[in-house]
Amino acid sequence: MSKKDIIICRCEDVTLEDVHKCLEQGYTTFEEIKRILRVGMGPCQGQTCSQLIQKEIAKYLGKNVEDVKTQKTRPLVTGVKLQDIADSEDE
């Protein structure tokens, strides 16, 4: 299968070829690749792509996958409507 047809990030439609190009340009951490390709910025926040990209980085750098840094996670865990948050009351 061509690298162009392998989708790594479904939220942002990023292919394996895109990821490999980034690695070859010298962007070899998830955070750098994220800023260029938007992987991990979509609605799933990297739930699918982060491990796939970690593996690609490991392969490229000849490292063990557990030695490749994972991306920073931030709230929210799942998408919530702004209106629902605005309406919610603790009391």
Q: Residue 49's CB: how many other CB atoms inside 10 A?
A: 27
In order of 3, 39, 50, 60, the CA distances from 56 in angstroms are: 12, 13, 10, 6
Q: Which helix (H) or strand (E) holds 58?
A: helix 49-61
Q: Which stretch binds another protein (CB under 8 A): 1-9, 13-21, 51-59, 75-83?
A: 75-83
Query: What gap in Å lies between CA 11 and CA 42, rounded to an integer?
Result: 5
30 in contact with another protein (CB under 8 A): no
7, 36, 52, 58: which one contacts another protein (CB under 8 A)? 36
16, 27, 39, 56: which one contacts another protein (CB under 8 A)? 27
List residues binding another protein (CB under 8 A).
27, 29, 31-32, 35-36, 38, 41-43, 45, 74-76, 79-83, 85-86
